[in-house]
Amino acid sequence: MMDIFFVVLRRPTLFGLLFLGLLFGGLPLAAQPAETVTRVDPPHWWVGLGDGTLQLLVYGPGISAWEPSLNHAGVRLLRAQKTSNTNYLFLELALESDLQPGTLMLQFSKDKKHYTRPFELRARTDWQPAGLGPQDMMYLIMPDRFANGNPANDVVEGMQDQSLDRSNDYLRHGGDLAGITARLDYLQDLGITAIWLNPVLENNQPKASYHGYAATDLYRIDPRFGSHQDYLDFTAACRSRGIKVVMDIIHNHWGDQHSLYTNLVSPEWIHQWPEFTRTTYKDFTLMDPYAAEADRKLMTDGWFDTHMPDLNQQDPLLARYIIQSNLWWVQEAGTDAFRMDTWAYSDPEFLETWSAAVRNAYPSLGLFAETWVHGGVVQAFYHGNTILDKKFQPDMPGLTDFQSYYAINEALTKADGWTEGVTRLYLTLAKDFVYRDPSLNVVFLDNHDLSRFYGVVGRNDAKFRAGIDWLMTVRGIPMLYYGTEILMGQLADAHGGSVRKDFPGGWSTDSVDKFSAAGRTELENQAFDYVRGMARWRKANPVLHSGRLTQFVPQDGVYVFFRYDDDKTVMTVLNASDKTRSLNMDRFAERTRGFTQGRHPVLGSIFSLTDLVALEPYQSLVLELLP
């Protein structure tokens, strides 16, 4: 009988509906209206996940006029809540501790008519996310621009954006999950331990849908990236290789084609204005003790863009909807970490509630948030583990460290001064005292919104290597943007498309394949080999994950810092000037005492610590110190 039961659930034929009606209450077939409920979010749930309650968003034409009920051991219907839109009904369920996996039948009745909707409660495994930490090397991929593994999904019938034009930076190019999965050998060989994908949820927007930051369904993978199973296959393939998966999520806004906006659940779900009002992007108003309330409201409640409705997470139904969707993806796909987009723009109280909820469900889940802000204290305000006395205290262990990004770019493009140039690198780390654990901040040279590092430093190979040396040895979780290792060097334009070029070789029609050494130029191979060598070396050396750090005030444009523990000492030297410099090692005796030589971990070069070391303009050195 159970075999028949599961067949019925998978294939709801007329016989199946009759069977379910007889099994769960003896409802006659004629009383089972077709498609009374067309959607339930979340699509299923797991026994033991969350705080013991579950909110179901039930959608169907006029569903709020129906009376819900259920009769299932271990589940109680606490309340049914209506909104101003009669097509929605929210059910709050209590899931008892003795609840067993199975199928819950949601029952609805109206005017002597009855409707039954199955809802699956799955068994939760003991799996926990692998998390994210300074031992990792993260790689950021824009899925539409990396590799095309399945041309059949390049254009999907019914999607609003039917574009496919690789010559246009703002149209879809056809990259997908299958293409990324097929390149995992390349990434593993490079030394990558975690992959951060720009958002892969459905973006059924009429234009610019390729980047993923205007979601239209929180429970559906965009079909142009592949199927739901394709995403599960990708995460499983990563897990089998020991590569972590970082999911990019957005709390602040949706795309304006999201069905919960076009058929708005409730006006309270969206920040409403008499006319379109854009956020000011002035994040510092949230911490300014003298800020006008009007300025704070414009910052948090203004829309990010014309097609991105600003979500009001103060509404408890919406807040719960967002939180549950995030928990759902952790369990469904084996997500190891979240990267939170536009962290500063969401409601602060919601961010505290959200972070507590996901941490309670998954204590080991990795978390870091985008904080594209200016100033060390401003950045630290959004962190959840600082010495600052502030009301805003989310459980947010890591941030995208834009302050160090600004510093490394300035160090290699601007002359040294009292606070500028390479001294800014020193001063940025000097402000780490505000963080209780700065090693969980994510450090990077560029990303999907910024000019590529190789272009920023004028395609200067010495500067490029200096940036890689800094990235691989400084404190924090290093992140590499796709293509940096092969010297992709485009500069950003107004809308970012120019820095999101295709990875050459990701499409079968490409004339060159830079995933292989044969397809790369000599200069590109030198860069790739160096990045790979440094990433593998970093992965194998705990001193770069958890070792202490000592830095010396820059002199004559030369910056030196050390990473060290009881087993190893690593010295990083950066000549950020356009002149040859001589480095006297005597100044660093407190860290070099007991060592006589330094060996480069990739190049194998040996340097004496008792002699002056000559540094060419913009030359950098990474040395493992030897007795």
Q: Where are the domains of the chain?
A: 28-123, 138-540, 548-626
Among residues 395, 369, 140, which one has the least CA distance to residue 249? 369
Find out whether 241 and 333 touch, Cβ atoms under 8 Å. Answer: no
What is the structure's pLDDT at 7? 37
Residues 45-62: tens digit of each pLDDT = 999 999 999 999 999 999
Point out the catalytic residue in the list 341, 347, 401, 416: 341
Can you name the CATH fold of 548-626?
Immunoglobulin-like (2.60.40)
What is the structure's pLDDT at 612? 86
Q: Which CATH architecture has domain 138-540?
A: Alpha-Beta Barrel (3.20)
**Distance between CA 395 and CA 369 in Å, rounded?**
11
What is the structure's pLDDT at 35? 66
What is the structure's pLDDT at 610? 87
Residues 431-462: tens digit of each pLDDT = 999 999 999 999 999 999 999 999 999 999 99
In the three-class reduction of DSSP (H, G, I as helix; E, B as strand; rest coil), residue 558 is classed as strand
Among residues 428, 435, 389, 378, which one has the least CA distance to residue 407? 428
What is the structure's pLDDT at 27? 43
Sign of CA dihedral 305, 306, 308, 312: positive
- Give the number of C-alpha atoms closer than 13 A to the C-alpha of residue 454, restricted to the C-beta side: 19
In the three-class reduction of DSSP (H, G, I as helix; E, B as strand; rest coil), residue 590 is classed as helix
Phi, psi of 157 (to 5 degrees): -60, 135
Find out whether 163 and 205 touch, Cβ atoms under 8 Å. Answer: no
Point out the catalytic residue in the list 217, 230, 370, 485: 370
pTM, entire model: 0.93
Alpha-helix residue ranges (DSSP H) falling in 280-338: 293-301, 316-333
What is the structure's pLDDT at 2? 38
**Distance between CA 230 and CA 228 in Å, rounded?**
5
| CA geometry: angle 80, 250, 323, nearest 5 deg | 30
Q: Look up residue 440 and give its two tokens.
A: 């969980």
Task: Please state, rounded to an integer, the average pLDDT across all residues of the chain.
Answer: 94
Find out whether 45 and 332 touch, Cβ atoms under 8 Å. Answer: no
**Distance between CA 547 and CA 545 in Å, rounded?**
6
Q: Decide if domain 28-123 falls under CATH 2.40.50.140.
A: no
What is the structure's pLDDT at 34? 62
Annotation says 616 is catalytic:
no
Annotation says 370 is catalytic:
yes
Number of Cβ within 10 Å of residue 462's Cβ equals: 15
User: How many residues belong to the chain?
Assistant: 627
- Fold match between domain 138-540 and domain 548-626: no
Find out whether 521 and 529 touch, Cβ atoms under 8 Å. Answer: no
| CA geometry: angle 66, 41, 144, nearest 5 deg | 145
Element (H, E) at 47: strand 45-47
Q: Which regions of the chain are under pLDDT 50? A: 1-30
Q: Which residue has the tokens 């404190």?
A: 475
Find out whether 104 and 19 touch, Cβ atoms under 8 Å. Answer: no
What is the structure's pLDDT at 494? 81
